[in-house]
Amino acid sequence: MMKVARTFLSSGRIFFVLFIAVSAVVFAMFQGGKVSWTIFYVLFPFICYSILLFFYPLVDIKAERTIRTPNVQNGGKLAVSITVYRRIRFPLLYTVVTEQWEEKEIPKLAGEKLKRFFLWGFRKEVKWEYEIERMPRGEHVLQGVEVEVSDFFGWIKKKKFIPAKHTILVYPKTVSINYVPIDTQYDRGSMASPLNIVKDTTMATGVRNYQPGDRVTWIHWKSFARTQSLMTKEFEDKRSQELFLILDSRPAETFEGQVELAASILKESTSQQAGLTFMSTGAESSIFPFIQSEEQFHRALVHLAKIKPSKDQSDARLPGGEETSGHGGSIVLITGNPDWPFIQSVTQNVKNARRIVCFVVTQDGQIPPTLASNIQLAKSRGIAVHSLAQERFTTAFEEVTRL
């Protein structure tokens, strides 16, 4: 339907130009005189150009786009270069090139930067660069470039949309976090230490006297047969860190801050090879187990770039399964509201956690009465709750260890 309307409008424009041409000729012939023919000769070049422009093939025009800032974080600047070129050197006068985005939010943010006016002339190509400040986090799609050409008086106007689809990921902003493991545990007793010490039971390095609490499978029976004294195998200590990070993806005013905190923790733990597992809640929940490599971190970061709040405020579900319920490390929750549905979902699905810590992201450190009530409820369930404003993300783990 749109194509038919455009064809009809284009045909109407050329008929209008022909009508002006015929009218000028008839006026000059019947009116006579120098003035009449002067009017005709003045209009004649413009009429000829309009007719030629009508038949000029816009299919000859192509466009290429270059993203000059491939990695953009939330609030960062996006720089784009566009080249529009052709083969036929037909003189184009008034040319408007417009970048088309799939979202309506970006054109509102960019304003007139997405549109450029050219006096093209006989050139084969024109180049154009624009920048958009404060890009929002998310997946943004550029659909293509629209080129509109016009004659002197706007009698003939032609448009062409050049498809040039390009997907841009704006990643969450990350800050440097002083990462301190929340909870560590030895095989005998518990204490604070930089890392979690786990026995590698595949390699015995010696024997020692038996101590209450040692596992029966660790007893060195050959020594017992010789000396009649219980001896326990000693194993090589293998250091590890077990941390399970859960992001509450329900709608919240602090949702962007929650995503930023999650991305910052992921980045820091990956740099230290902490073996962190990440999960987001909601109807489209995702889990990224044991993130250590840059590739694994990048997959999780792409998920955080695309993630959007759940449509349902009460949707706090966690996926079940062994990856969730069988985790035996520390749990870190990131939310804007630790209410009962969210806390219940966590406690029901993650049963073997040694410790649960909840980071509540707040706006400017303000805690409304309802939020304060939910924080007290979470604390009554044995969860260590720590409220954080965005400017305090850097010291989040240091402050938790003092709780």
Quickly count: other Cβ atoms within 10 Å of residue 7's Cβ.
10
- CB burial readout 121-134, b (16+ within 10 A) else e: eeeeebebebebee
pTM of the model: 0.75
Q: For residues 158-163, give the mean pLDDT.
A: 93
145 with 56: CB under 8 angstroms? Answer: no
| pLDDT value, residue 171 | 95
Residue 29, φ and ψ in degrees, nearest 5: -70, -40
Q: Give the distance from CA 270 to its chain's centroid.
A: 19
Strand pairing partners for 334? 247, 359
pLDDT of residue 259: 94
Rounded Cα distance between 242 and 329, Å, is 5
Dihedral sign for Cα atoms in the order 64, 70, 72, 76:
negative
d(CA 262, CA 266): 6
pLDDT at residue 7, rounded to an integer: 64
Q: pLDDT tens, 31-51?
A: 777 888 888 888 899 999 999
Q: What is the pLDDT of residues 336-368, one digit of tens each?
A: 989 888 888 888 777 667 788 899 999 887 888
Identify whether the C-beta of residue 235 lies closer than 8 Å to the C-beta of residue 200.
Answer: yes
Residue-range domains of the chain with CATH = 1-24+35-41 (no CATH), 58-171 (2.60.40.150), 200-239 (no CATH), 243-400 (3.40.50.410)
On average, the pLDDT of the chain sits at 81
**pLDDT for position 240:** 46
Which pLDDT score is estimated for 190?
37
Can you give the pLDDT at residue 188? 37
- Give me the mean pLDDT over the 163-192 stretch: 71
pLDDT in tens, 56-78: 999 999 999 999 998 899 999 99
Residue whose structure tokens are 């960062």? 76
Q: How far apart are CA 368 and CA 332, in angstroms?
A: 22
Instruction: Write the pLDDT tens digit of every residue in 204-215.
Output: 556 777 766 666
Top-confidence residue, 321 or 226: 226
CB 380, CB 354: distance < 8 Å: no
* 213 φ/ψ sector (left φ>0, alpha ψ -120 to 50, else beta): left
Buried b (16+ CB within 10 A) or exposed e, 220-253: beebeeeeeeebbbebeeeeebbbbbbbbbbebe
Residue type, 288: F
Confidence at residue 316, expressed as pLDDT on a 0 to 100 scale: 67
